[in-house]
Amino acid sequence: MQNKIEYALFLFFALIVKILGLNLSRRFSFFLAVIFYYLIPIRKKTVIENLTMAFPDYSRKEIRKIAFGSYRSFSITLVEILYMPNMSKEEIIASVKCSNPELIAEKYKENNGVILLSAHFGNWEYMACSMSAVLDISFAVVTKPQRNPYVTKWLDNVRVRWKNKIVSLGISIRQVYKELKEKNIVAMVADQRGPSDGTRVDFFGRKASVYPGPAILSLKTKAPVLYGIAIRQPDYSYKATMVEISLENLPEKEEDKITEISQRHTAYLEGIMRQYPEQWFWMHKRWKY
């Protein structure tokens, strides 16, 4: 019953966004940020702690400014996602201006499959939908089910509107491996905290656990690893550049190769985050272990 009530509220909010329109909803998102940061502070303590660890030289005022900016960014992303069912293919294509989408196509033609990474940054949902629509190529999008199954189904229906298909994290990694062996493009976010015994890399000067999946899959299938991040602009548009993570000059041992590849794509993300820290999702305990 709780899931159904939550889903009804979710649909009601989506209806409000539809009625207001995308532009007005984006402006309205400021008030959502105020509510979630000041009135009902969701994970605010975690956000402040993460930012303090990531930017130890920043003043308390600077940390809190970035923290509120993170809530503002997430609120914008939320209303954008809620509005996605109302978007046309032309609108989703225009939502992200990628400077070099042809890099994905070129790697795809090499017939080894492609691992396309992104992060909980800007609007990651726009990124996968827009790029597949631009290239007219289906991506196998790896997703994590939400706690509410009705919301999960709603999100997955949005994600497949323009060609993509869903591979749930609840499914064995063998399914992701199968997609790559069939020379497909697998898209996934690569910034979550890994398990306590996971691969550990440097992240903002601290050791952090990451999931080794992208590195392992690349080594097993010879699929190139590309990274694309949708960076929000002042006018609410998004810009992105596809970057290939180098697989050259890796260590000899397999475990060391996995760590090095993981470190390289993590370092790329960190570089973007340092430029636009407010656009990353700081609400989970990234340095829990």
Sketch the domain layout of the chain as residue ranges: 1-86, 89-280
- 214 and 101 in contact (C-beta within 8 Å)? no
Residue 158: pLDDT band with limits 50, 70, 90: very high
Q: How far is 280 from 136, CA to CA, in rounded Å? A: 28
- DSSP characters for 135-159? HT--EEEEEPPPSSHHHHHHHHHHH
Residue 289: pLDDT band with limits 50, 70, 90: confident
Q: How far is 80 from 121, CA to CA, in rounded Å? A: 13
Residue 175: pLDDT band with limits 50, 70, 90: confident
Rounded-to-10 torsion of CA 240, 180, 125, 264: -50
Q: Is the pLDDT at 171 greater than 70, yes or no? A: no
Q: Is the pLDDT at 67 greater than 80, yes or no? A: yes
Question: Is the alpha carbon torsion for 30, 32, 37, 38 positive or negative?
Answer: positive
Residue 170: pLDDT band with limits 50, 70, 90: low
Q: How far is 285 from 237, CA to CA, in rounded Å? A: 29
Can you tell me the mean pLDDT for 54-72?
98
Q: Could you report the per-residue pLDDT of 265-278, keeping only the tens digit for each?
A: 999 999 999 999 99
Q: Is the pLDDT at 18 greater than 70, yes or no? A: yes
Average pLDDT, the chain: 95
Residue 168's pLDDT is what?
85
Percentage of the residues of the chain whose pLDDT score is greater than 90? 92
Other CB atoms within 10 Å distance of the CB of residue 200: 17
Residue 275's pLDDT is what?
98
- 48 and 67 in contact (C-beta within 8 Å)? yes
100-113: burial string, b at 16+ Cβ within 10 Å, e else = ebebbeebbeeebb
- DSSP characters for 169-238? TTS-HHHHHHHHHTT-EEEEE--S---TTSEEEEETTEEEEE--HHHHHHHHH---EEE---EEPTTS-E
Q: What's the whole-model pTM score?
A: 0.94
Percentage of the residues of the chain whose pLDDT score is greater than 70? 99
The DSSP letter of residue 287 is T
Residue 232's pLDDT is what?
98
Can you tell me the mean pLDDT for 9-36?
96
Residue 288: pLDDT band with limits 50, 70, 90: confident
Residue 174's pLDDT is what?
82
Can you tell me the mean pLDDT for 110-138?
96
